Structures are given as structure tokens and as C-alpha cells.
A = this chain, B = another copy of it.
Amino acid sequence: MGTSLHESETQALASCAAAYPADLTILLHAATNRVTIYLDHAAAEMGLNDARDWLVLSALEDGQQRTQLELSRVVCVDKTTLITVLDRLERQELIVRTVDPSDRRVRIPQITDAGRRVFATFATARDAAEARALDGVSKADREVLMRLLGRIATDTDTLATTA
């Protein structure tokens, strides 16, 4: 499934970043696309469909009981789209959908042992990639990066001006 696209996208992104090196917006997109491509590739290598599949697994990994709707909010995936992800993960026996006996409307997706293993291997692969991407970067600089990204991600003022 679509493994040959990585090559061309990689090239395209390279020229992208080269063309607009000073623009925060473009840089954000380019950096995100880059890690997305890598993560999708890593996910495909271990039988997952997407980096999003792993994201869902990671949200389930803490064992906390969550409704599908709650889960969709946590991982920022549309509730409709989440269904297809859960269907796929369930078919691969990485999760199971349990029914809450106290409320038969809701389904509680829960990670299986197999799912936990896939999550763990993916997580180490991702951590290695992150470490490599930031290799040689000082602790202080990393902290700056994370802090500013977090600020951009959660800054409500940026959006408030449009209202």
C-alpha cells in the first residue's frame, strides 16, 4: 500500500523547506510532514495502517477506560473516522471493544497484550528517530523547542482574534 510515495514526498518537502526557510508556518508544515512520513512508514513496517493507528493505541495504553467519543477527543480524530481505525485494530486483535454493563450504549475499547507489544516497539522506534533528529542539540535548546511548540499549540489568543 503506497510505499513508493515516500520517495517523491521526501523530495518535495526538501525543496519546500529550501524555498521558504524563514517562514514559521511553512517550517511547521514541513517538519510535521517529515515526521509524519517517517512515522507512517514505521507504522506500515509493523503492520499498522497509519501513525494514527499508533496514536490511538498510545491513548489506550494507559488502561484508562474511555468511551469511543472521549477517545476521539483525546487523540483529535473524528469520531466517524475513529470507527474505521478501531475496526481495523480490532480485526488485528490489538484491541477489543467491551461493553460497559452500566451503560449499554457505550463501547469501551481496550488494548490487548498484542496491542501493547506493537505499541512498545513502535514507541521505541519513534523515540530513536526523535533522538536522532535532535542529536547534538543541547538540552536547553530542546526545552525551548518543546516550550514554544506547546505554546503555539495551546495559545488561545491566536484564534480569539478571529471572533
Contact = CB atoms under 8 A, between A and B. Distances in A.
Interface in A114-161: 126, 129-130, 132-134, 137, 141-142, 144-146, 148-159, 161
Nearest to A12: B76
A51 to B, nearest CB: 8
Nearest to A148: B145
A146 B42 contact: no
B28 A159 contact: no
Interface stretch (A33-41, A89-97, A104-112): A33-41
B132 A33 contact: no
Given A145-B145, A148-B137, A157-B132, A38 B73 contact: no
B141 A34 contact: no
Interface string A33-57: 1111111011001000001000100
A101 interface: no
B126 A33 contact: no
Interface in A56-96: 58-59, 73-76
Interface of A: 6, 9-22, 24-39, 41-42, 45, 51, 55, 58-59, 73-76, 126, 129-130, 132-134, 137, 141-142, 144-146, 148-159, 161-162
